[in-house]
Amino acid sequence: MKKIECKNIFRAIVFLCLIQYSQAKPEYAKNGMVVSSSRLASEAGVNILKKGGNAIDAAVATGFALAVTYPQAGNIGGGGFLVAHMAYGESFSLDFREMAPSMAHRDMYLDDS
């Protein structure tokens, strides 16, 4: 009985150690940061910042690059939401979700069969 308990305690300790070391440490940046699921797309956003673009410019560039490097995550024809806080203190949100044409109806793409 004690042998089984020791094995379980050992397993629990190993599991907890693995969890602790598997978590990434936070990264910090002074002038901005671009993060995405694709290194190449993130680099596109960073290049925009280096050329004087703002965070929104970088986000748009990263999104367009993701359409090429990671198309299953979304694409140019897709929609989304943007929440931004501008340098002059104003915050705003933009809803650019995709919409059906105004004349669309439930049976629009059904045929007679």
Q: What is the mean pLDDT of each run of 10 residues along the chain (113 residues)?
A: 68 72 77 92 96 93 93 79 90 88 86 74
Q: What is the count of structural domains for the chain?
A: 1
pLDDT the model gives residue 65: 95
pLDDT the model gives residue 4: 66
pLDDT the model gives residue 45: 96
**Domain assignment of residue 63, given as a range:** 2-95
Q: 64 Cβ partners below 8 Å, 6+ apart? A: 44, 76
Residue 100 lies in a domain: no
pTM of the model: 0.64
Residue 111 lies in a domain: no
Residue 48 lies in a domain: yes
Residue 36 lies in a domain: yes
Residue 15 lies in a domain: yes
Residue 22 lies in a domain: yes
pLDDT the model gives residue 92: 93
* CA 37-39-45 angle, 5° bins: 95
Find, among 82, 83, 65, the residue nearest to 74 by Cα. Answer: 65
pLDDT the model gives residue 113: 66
Q: 84 Cβ partners below 8 Å, 6+ apart? A: 55, 56, 91, 92, 93, 94
Question: 74-102 burial, b for 16+ CB within 10 Å, e for fewer?
Answer: eeeeeeeeeeeeeeeeeeeeeeeeeeeee
